[in-house]
Amino acid sequence: MISYLQHLSFWDWLAFGTLLLILEVFGAGGYLLWLGIAAAGVGVLSYLFPALPWTWQFLLFGLFSVLSAVLWWRRQRSAAKPSEQPGLNQRGQELLGRQFVLHEAINAGRGKIKAGDSLWLVSGPDLPAGTAVRVVGQDGVLLKVEAL
């Protein structure tokens, strides 16, 4: 085994890097991408410096792996920005503050409004159907309303 390590060529590193990148395609979630790139980098260095000892090759592989992963992580963190649509995928949030007409009367604190093509359960003071209301809050799928 030691004799194999002492005679590592750049082809070994490039093959290892290619194998890691192929495995990444099958859904590793980005983890093997940086290892594959690091292995390819060591392959290029061992091509440029053929007398590079195997211990240095492994140390460079470890260094490149950690360095590339940390740099990518920092880039991802700095590129993250708040959404331009903060209520996206939060049904009902877009209804806050809007006015509707009661579709079904509020009896015992529960009724319904029609918003677009959907009926929403509402809670509030007892009001007859046809009363104008404003949405003032949300509790899960239940909208809280008040009379206008």
| Segments making up each domain of the chain, as ranges | 2-79, 93-147
Taking 90 as the threshold, does the pLDDT of residue 4 lie above it?
no
- CB distance 95 to 120 below 8 Å: yes
What pLDDT score was predicted for residue 86? 67
Distance CA 34, CA 65 (A): 6
Is pTM beyond 0.75? Reply is no
Taking 80 as the threshold, does the pLDDT of residue 84 lie above it?
no
| Cα dist from 84 to 35, 80, 88, 92, whole Å | 34, 12, 9, 17
Strands of 33-88, DSSP E: none
Q: If you average pLDDT over residues 3-27, what whole number do you get? A: 88
Q: If you average pLDDT over residues 7-34, what whole number do you get? A: 88
Q: Are strands 142-147 and 118-123 parallel, antiparallel or unpaired?
A: parallel
Taking 70 as the threshold, does the pLDDT of residue 87 lie above it?
no
Q: If you average pLDDT over residues 134-138, what whole number do you get? A: 93
Distance CA 59, CA 41 (A): 12
What pLDDT score was predicted for residue 75? 86
Taking 80 as the threshold, does the pLDDT of residue 29 lie above it?
no
- Burial of 116 from C-beta contacts in 10 A (0-12 / 13-18 / 19+): exposed
Taking 80 as the threshold, does the pLDDT of residue 72 lie above it?
yes
Place of tokens 């990148």: 21
Thinking of the domain 93-147, which architecture would CATH place it in?
Beta Barrel (2.40)
- Which residues lie across from 111 on neighbouring strands? 122
- CB distance 143 to 92 below 8 Å: yes
What pLDDT score was predicted for residue 143? 94
Distance CA 45, CA 43 (A): 5
Q: If you average pLDDT over residues 110-129, what whole number do you get? A: 93
SS3 content of the chain, % helix, strand, coil (to 5): 45, 25, 30
